[in-house]
Amino acid sequence: MSGGPFRAIGIASTGVTVYRKWLDAVSDNISNLNNATTTAGEAFRERFVIAQAVDYGSGNGGVQVGGIELGSAEGRLVHEPDHPLADENGYVRYPDIDLGSQMSQLMMAQRGYQANLSVVDRAYDAYQAALQLGRNS
């Protein structure tokens, strides 16, 4: 689907893929929100998907995941002496992920996903019309 006569659908599908990956990253971040670790270990690092234009300037390259950035491994220390992973001072390490920011990213990713799917819908109509060319006599 990378080239050919139905390129608009291929471009939209690159967008769908990137937003799908972003949704995956956000749900991974949220599901690991409360991962406790020992103070000696690293906290779960949140993932940021970096979108990058393919062949920028050509106008028909689409988008790809250019890389993943990781959040802080330091996290935050919480005093929970009863926790099985607590150190001698009673501290455990939690990831420093803000649920509010994750939720707004979730909405952005979802909106982008839907926008790209509706491009597929509209492009499909246009290509269908083109395929009808010469059918009516």
Partner 1 sequence: MLDDVASSAVRVALKGLAQRQRVIADNIANVETPRFLAGRVQFEDALRTAVEDGTSPQEVTPEVARSLEPTRENGNNVNLDHETLTHMDTVLRYQTMLKALDSKYSLLRSVIRGGA
The site for partner 1 (CB under 8 A) is made up of 7-9, 11-12, 14-15, 18, 50-53, 56-63, 108, 111-112, 115-116, 118-119, 122-123, 125-126, 129-130, 132-134, 136-137
Nearer to partner 1 (CB atom), residue 76 or residue 126: 126
Nearer to partner 1 (CB atom), residue 63 or residue 97: 63
Nearer to partner 1 (CB atom), residue 39 or residue 102: 102
Round to whole Å and give the CA distance between 36 and 85.
Answer: 8
Cβ at position 32, least distance to partner 1 in Å: 23
Cβ at position 19, least distance to partner 1 in Å: 8
DSSP 40-109: TSPPPPPEEEEEEETTTTSS---EEEEEEEE--SS-EEEE-TTSTT--TTSEEEE----HHHHHHHHHHH
Q: What's the number of CA atoms in the CB half-sphere (13 Å) around residue 40?
A: 4
Cβ at position 74, least distance to partner 1 in Å: 25
Residue 4, SS3? coil
Nearer to partner 1 (CB atom), residue 11 or residue 97: 11
Distances in Å between the Cα of 42 and the Cα atoms of 10, 48, 84, 95 are: 40, 18, 17, 9
